A and B are shown apart, each in its own frame.
Chain A
Amino acid sequence: MNVNEKSNAADVSPGQIDASCRVPLLALFGGAALWLVVGLVLALIASIKFHQPEFLVNCSLLTYGRVQAAANDLILYGFAIPAGLGVMLWIFARLSQAELILPLVPVVAANIWHAGVFIGLVAILIGETSGFAWLEFPRASFALMLAAFILIALSAAGTFGQRRERELYPSHWFLLAALLWFPWIYSTANIFLLIWPVRGVAQAVINWWYVNNLIFVWLTLVGLGVAFYFLPKLGGKPLHSRFYAQFAFWTLTLFGTFLGIPQGAPVPAWFPAASTLASVLLIIPLIAVAIIFVKTVCGAGANCKGGPFCQVKFGTVVFLLSGLMLIAISCPHFSQITRYTWFETAQTQLQIFGFFAIVILAGANEILPRIMASALPFPKFVRVQHWCFMLGTLLLVGSLAVSGIEQGLNNYSFATALPALRISTLGLFLLLIGSLLFAANVFVMTIKWKLGLAKVVFTTVTAPLKTAEVKS
């Protein structure tokens, strides 16, 4: 499989393929950038409450439990999923060496998706949250977002069906599985928790299963699929190797999906036992990914210098770290300390910001100039944004992990966890700056493009009629 897509004679040119993705990707990335900024602002508000518990305390809309849930959901559903889908659509089109089919469908779908997120945000803030972690959006959001996802998946699958190279590239497996897995887990969780709720503690089991499968499995499938596309493309050295990638894919989907039920949960013992066993086995796909990474990246001739190659490399290494952290918190000995502490939050944030957001943003910044056929309005922002994300994640995750361990060693005492916890505010602030820089690029680009369109329309409308037409 040739990742660099040298187009064969008489084929669609890469420029045409990129142009076909323009509107859908702008719709997906634009909303994603907006929700990332709003989500981080809300996360910052929640975090400031640890410095000043009285901060905005009389406003029921902004009480900690609501703001924190809204921030989490905006970052995951508002930013991570649509941004991932955007990059995914482009990769499908490029790997298929064909234009995106039905480009209008993902445009409409992106808007439906973002409307669903908006409804969810309002619902959480006014107290209409479902009460299930990472699934706080109400049923109306579920209907909209599931429909939107399926529409985007159809467009992606259609483009995939048109591919010229019949053999699949490893990224295909990861991204196809992600397209299949999200509607499955999302509808399962919503149906069994919100529409026809199961009884008692089975709700908790399904909730844990869903959260793990979304945050660990789904984000990993998309993030690795994208990384396995960009690492060879930007590094100039083919992916090493199909066999390892295949091995990583099957072991990851087989073991990763079984994680999530915590030790000591008030459920029959086989649930947490199965999760613990799976978490031990998770080391196998992690080793496979590490081998793929080292053999693909070492000796790659590409000049790194903080460019997109460097960013995707960083994200992939963080994935390995996040996986190791996940194994650690599932292992009975260590989980005695970290259970119910900020340490678990730290792992989630590492997965979302350190791995997924960094890989996807690197991809988005690489794709944007191509689909718009013009340079980014602020090309220098890309590196600053990456630094903000790296340092912000480091501060956020590091401080949460330290305060988690403090908490675990000191009877969950809030006072001992507080000093480290307060540093996390700074991390969120850096992430917010990074997200503003990304949003600036996306929005200025969109506005420029819309102005250009308006200009074309205006000149066409106001153009004087040709005299020949008048005369006849």
Chain B
Amino acid sequence: MKNGFTVFLASFFVLGSSWTAFVLGSAIQLGHEKQTTVLNGSDAYPVQRAGEATLGLQVYRASGCAACHTEQVQQNGMACDVILTAAGKNAAAVSNLVAKLKLSDLSEEEAAATADKITAAGGKVETRIIATGGDIARGWGIRHSVAADYLYDYPVQLGSLRVGPDLGAIGVRMADVNLQLQHLYAPKSVNAASAMPPFRFLFEVRKVGTVRSPEALNLPKEFAPADGYEVVPKPEARQLVAYLLSLRADVPLYEAPFTPATPKK
């Protein structure tokens, strides 16, 4: 290593190897990703976020929400539940068999074996796949986030620090627009322990006109403005909420399978 040029050339190749792998590799493998379909279905996924939600992503970016929130639900694995849907002709034998078997928290192979046994006895079963892991247990999502969830986003803000909860499926967890708006204006009015700073600059506090604006927030007494005033969300607040509600990650995909809850008949 006596020559400057040798060092330069050698570092070029050594340093360049990670560039080739991570930059070129990701651009080739992920940069041409296409819309797919939902598992066992024909619905396209993902679809472009609605206009207001797309604008909301920019409010999310500008306000630096990603400093405290991640948008990636984690999953450790999955478990299968076997559910008896019909006992068939030989109901007593099937229910005896079912009582002896372990039906929940099974691996895929175990679930298949169990299902076979019950089917052999004449019962009808359904196997459900459930994602497992800390985030799922916390109720932060139904399945883990996958690359497809962010296909149309710019910028993709996965975040790296969870000062607040993960927002990967906030649209499922807190689907009420008014509650979301109230939470942005006065987080403590929704969750007394919240450490989130209030985003009051996304709202306008103004004198009530002849009638109260239909958009005005219904705030609890201690968070409400003085009498004769109302809190009205600015467009940015509405856009941000539209974006938050669009964060769902609630459809099964090939790389993230689960059995969606079926509406009870």
Residues on A facing B (Cβ under 8 Å): 49-50, 53-54, 57-60, 63-66, 68-69, 127-133, 160-161, 166-168, 172-173, 176-177, 180-181, 184-185, 188, 192-193, 197-206, 209, 213, 246, 250, 253-254, 257-258, 260-262, 264-268, 271, 274, 339-342, 344-345, 407, 411-412, 414-415, 418
Contact = CB atoms under 8 A, between A and B. Distances in A.
A258 B64 contact: no
A131 B164 CA distance: 18
B4 A414 contact: no
Interface of B: 1-4, 7-8, 10-12, 14-15, 17-19, 21-23, 25-27, 29-33, 61-68, 70, 72, 74, 134, 138, 144-166, 193, 195-201
A254 B25 CA distance: 17
Nearest to A133: B160
A261 to B, nearest CB: 7
A270 to B, nearest CB: 8
A201 B161 contact: no
Given A69-B64, A340-B160, 19 more contacts: A53-B198, A58-B200, A133-B160, A160-B4, A166-B2, A176-B4, A180-B11, A200-B153, A202-B26, A202-B29, A204-B150, A205-B30, A209-B22, A246-B1, A257-B15, A266-B146, A340-B70, A341-B162, A407-B162
Nearest to A173: B7
Nearest to A50: B195
B64 A65 contact: yes
Contacts of A200: 30-31, 33, 147-148, 150-153, 156
B197 to A, nearest CB: 5
B14 A64 contact: no
30 contacts: A53-B196, A53-B197, A60-B63, A60-B201, A63-B63, A63-B64, A65-B66, A65-B67, A66-B64, A130-B155, A176-B4, A176-B7, A176-B11, A177-B11, A180-B12, A199-B30, A199-B31, A201-B33, A206-B23, A254-B17, A257-B18, A258-B18, A264-B144, A266-B72, A271-B25, A340-B160, A340-B161, A341-B161, A344-B161, A414-B163
A57 B202 CA distance: 11
A69 B195 CA distance: 18
Contacts of B149: 266
A57 B197 contact: yes
Nearest to B34: A199
A131 B243 CA distance: 15
Given A184-B15, A264-B74, A344-B160, A199 B67 contact: no
Contact of B17 (A64, A65, A257): A257
Contacts of A132: 155, 157
Contact of B30 (A128, A176, A202, A254): A202
A217 B138 CA distance: 36
A192 to B, nearest CB: 7
Interface of chain B, helix or strand or loop or mixed?
A: loop
Contacts of A407: 162
Contacts of B164: 414
A411 B65 contact: no
A189 to B, nearest CB: 9
A388 B63 CA distance: 32
Contact of A129 (B61, B134, B193): B61
Contacts of A254: 14, 17
Contacts of A199: 30-33, 151
A265 B3 CA distance: 41
A69 B67 contact: yes
Contacts of A128: 62
Given A64-B64, A129-B64, A201-B156, A267 B147 contact: yes
